[in-house]
Amino acid sequence: MDIKQSDLGLLVSLNALLETQSVTEAARAVNLSQPAMSAQLARLRALFGDPLLVASGRRLVPTSRAETLKAPLRQRLGDLDALIKEGRAFDAGTTTATFRLIGTDYVHGVVAPTLARTMAKAAPTARLALLPFDPQTVWTAVEADTADAALVTGMTIPDAKRRAGLDEDFVVIQRKGHPRGTGPLSLEAFCAAEHVLVSPEGGGFTGTIDRRLEAMGRKRRVACSVPGFYLAPALIASSDYLCVLPRRIAMQHAASLDWAELPFPSPSFRVDLIWHPRRQHDPAHIWFRDRVVQAMKGL
């Protein structure tokens, strides 16, 4: 490939083609007409000496050569984008940027209300996208710049930039009028009850609490497993189950549910904000990171 025959716009088009595997969708993504994108694909094929995308039914399928280009192309375009943004002034009051934050339903439910209020006041024309958390793809998304940052717990990612956010522990929730009453919860009562377990990966019936009980020579019965923290309160409100939830979620539902301290020292966890090093000096990204961390520190 002769770099003198190419331009950045052509590489941006290639990235869109590889992402969408469609001339029509790629053209829409980069604001080109379909004929113009078809012409760019022809130029790219000549430059790389490879078909890059071949027809398979109604879609285009990347060739082996194209597959090897995907990740490095995303990386280098992201680096160039960051290079340009570093020298650009940022005005929160007028920006129309979309800031994309990955997190579990816990961190979105706890952090997002404060963050959204702060952003609405300081950056009224910006947009906030809350993206779902998948431990297998979270760093890939940040690295590919399909997310600006992520809120994570207990993840070691050597390349990531990181700021500490909030510390959290757990309490037990139960419905109003629960047969056990509202006094302190004994270990015996805790183990004798039936429980709802939040299993973010879906379908699990053991977790951190069960491992803690096992270390004490105890166990409990988990009768129901749910995939998200915010599904549990409604289920608890209409049953005699108990559920161990992060304290801040329990406090959000304190008007409709009762809560109690665990009858043993609570496990704890910390939520950190991570982002890609290429965004370290991006003024808009710095502003957004500060808002996220401030939202967590205020909780």
For 43-82, write each residue's pLDDT tens digit: 899 888 899 999 887 788 999 998 998 888 887 787 777 6
Q: What percent of the chain has pLDDT over 90?
A: 69
Helix 283-297 to helix 105-122 angle (10° resolution) is 120
- Report the pLDDT value the prediction gives residue 217, as an integer from 0 to 100: 96
Pinpoint the alpha helices (H) of the chain. 8-20, 23-29, 34-48, 64-86, 105-122, 138-143, 187-192, 208-215, 232-237, 247-252, 283-297
DSSP state of 61: E
C-alpha closest to that of 43 among 75, 91, 11 = 11
The one-letter amino acid at 171: V
143 torsion bin: left (phi>0), alpha (psi -120 to 50), beta (else): alpha
SS3 15: helix
Residue 290 — pLDDT band, cuts 50, 70, 90?
very high
SS3 287: helix
Per-residue CA distances from 149 to 15, 75, 188 (Å): 21, 16, 43
The radius of gyration computed from the CA coordinates of the chain, to the nearest angstrom, equals 24
**CA–CA distance, 289 with 101 (Å, rounded to integer):** 10
Q: What is this structure's pTM? A: 0.74
Task: Tell me the residue length of the chain.
Answer: 299
Per-residue CA distances from 61 to 25, 36, 73, 116, 141 (Å): 14, 20, 17, 39, 21
**3-84 is a CATH 3.40.50.300 domain:** no
- 1 has pLDDT over 50: no
Pinpoint the alpha helices (H) of 30-174. 34-48, 64-86, 105-122, 138-143
**CA–CA distance, 204 with 206 (Å, rounded to integer):** 6
SS3 291: helix
Q: Are 292 and 111 in contact (CB under 8 A)?
A: yes
Residue-wise pLDDT tens digits, 162-200: 999 999 999 999 999 999 999 999 999 999 999 999 998
- 36 has pLDDT over 80: yes
96 torsion bin: left (phi>0), alpha (psi -120 to 50), beta (else): alpha
**CA–CA distance, 47 with 41 (Å, rounded to integer):** 10
- 6 has pLDDT over 90: no
Can you name the CATH fold of 167-269?
A: D-Maltodextrin-Binding Protein; domain 2 (3.40.190)
Q: Domain segments of the chain: what residues?
A: 3-84, 167-269
SS3 19: helix
